[in-house]
């Protein structure tokens, strides 16, 4: 019995020693440092999530995630190369190494996380699939789409969700499927379909960007699916996956503790809260666990703001989309975002 206890004590002590060891930089991070930028896969242009402005500068919630990771790893949020990708090409681009991170309003599903050689990191936006209709259609509910045409893009979860919803509710909807996103949008606004179906956040972007008068089009109240959106990385480099995941958790925890882009410096110098000290690197060095320096998360927050700031100016009340925070509130405010602690 004594021998067993002694053996267990040694094993536990060894584990404690191992857990305290600094992480080595993974091959993806080494490649990123060598080329001097992160290659970030984004959409071809979904306002609020990833789209270029008139000067060609990319912005959006998904873009800010890549900027935060660049600030954490390279010390500069602008060291990002944005690679626009279609729904069909996005996974191949990541698998082949063309991009380092896919931050492109992509739903995390079992098949994508388990069978494509990719790893889902953390959820950045909780969404659900809905329907956009013209006010002239007089349709007020998805249940009124019986026998109606619905424009949808192929290569997305939306196509299957539409089929499942139609079958479950005996609607016999008639999908009009397009390979390219723009073609599907153009077809809807040209009147080829009674409704357009995609994630509700995407519907708000489409209405804002393409409708001659956005008020003429309504998003129906029903959501027919769960669409948790988040970045993917290639499987096989756990170090890189951890960096992306913990950067997102850090942005969420920064909001929870009231750390913003504007007050980060003051809190870094004056706060006595141990959690704030860990987040900002003024006390403990959490960066060594990821192969980074102690100010990795401080730089990310300074570059993009916390998660709430990112949400507000890209898709929330300070944006054109005016999307409600809803499920994307923090856990202690009635939402689903619950970050694992930075410690």
325 Ramachandran zone, left/alpha/beta (phi>0; psi -120 to 50): alpha
Domain with CATH 3.40.190.10 in the chain: 23-126+229-317, 129-225
Q: What is the CATH number of domain 23-126+229-317?
A: 3.40.190.10
Closest CA to 95 of 65, 119, 73: 119
Q: Is 70 exceeded by the pLDDT of residue 76?
A: yes
> Options 3.40.190.10, 3.40.50.970, 3.30.365.10, 2.40.40.20; which CATH number does 129-225 get?
3.40.190.10
Q: What's residue 271's pLDDT?
A: 97
Q: Residues 87-111: pLDDT tens digits?
A: 899 999 999 999 999 999 999 999 9
Q: Residues 35-72: pLDDT tens digits?
A: 999 999 999 889 999 999 999 999 999 999 999 999 99
pLDDT band, very low/low/confident/very high, at 24 (cuts 50, 70, 90): low
Q: CA 272 → CA 28, 155, 280, 324, 341, distances in Å?
A: 36, 50, 12, 34, 18
Task: Give the pLDDT mean for 21-36.
Answer: 82
Tell me the whole-structure pTM to 2 decimals: 0.88
Q: What's residue 181's pLDDT?
A: 87
């Amino acid at each position: 019995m004594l021998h067993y206890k002694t053996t267990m004590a040694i094993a536990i002590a060894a584990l404690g020693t191992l857990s305290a060891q600094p992480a080595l930089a993974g091959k993806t991070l080494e490649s990123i440092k060598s080329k001097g930028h992160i290659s970030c896969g984004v959409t071809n242009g979904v306002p609020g999530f990833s789209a270029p402005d008139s000067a060609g500068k990319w912005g959006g919630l998904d873009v800010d995630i890549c900027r935060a990771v660049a600030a954490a790893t390279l010390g500069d949020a602008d060291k990002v190369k944005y690679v626009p990708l279609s729904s069909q090409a996005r996974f191949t681009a990541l698998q082949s190494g063309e991009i380092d991170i896919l931050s492109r309003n992509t739903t995390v599903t079992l098949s994508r996380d388990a069978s494509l050689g990719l790893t889902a990191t953390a959820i950045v936006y909780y969404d659900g699939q809905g329907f956009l209709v013209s006010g002239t259609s007089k349709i007020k509910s998805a249940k009124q789409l019986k026998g109606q045409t619905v424009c949808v893009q192929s290569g997305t979860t939306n196509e299957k969700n539409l089929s499942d919803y139609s079958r479950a509710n005996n609607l016999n909807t008639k999908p009009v499927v397009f390979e390219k996103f723009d073609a599907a949008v153009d077809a809807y606004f040209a009147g080829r379909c009674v409704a357009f179906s995609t994630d509700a956040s995407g519907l708000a972007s489409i209405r804002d960007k393409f409708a001659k008068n956005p008020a003429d089009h309504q998003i129906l109240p029903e959501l027919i699916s769960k669409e948790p959106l988040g970045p993917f990385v290639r499987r096989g480099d756990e170090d890189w996956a951890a960096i992306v995941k913990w950067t997102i958790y850090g942005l969420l925890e920064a909001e929870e503790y009231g750390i913003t882009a504007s007050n980060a410096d003051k809190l870094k110098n004056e706060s006595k809260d141990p959690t704030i000290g860990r987040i900002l690197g003024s006390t403990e060095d959490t960066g060594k666990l990821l192969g980074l320096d102690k100010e990795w998360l401080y730089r990310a927050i300074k570059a993009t703001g916390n998660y709430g700031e990112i949400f507000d100016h890209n898709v929330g009340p300070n944006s054109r989309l005016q999307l409600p925070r809803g499920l994307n509130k923090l856990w202690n405010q009635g939402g689903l975002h619950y970050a694992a602690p930075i410690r």
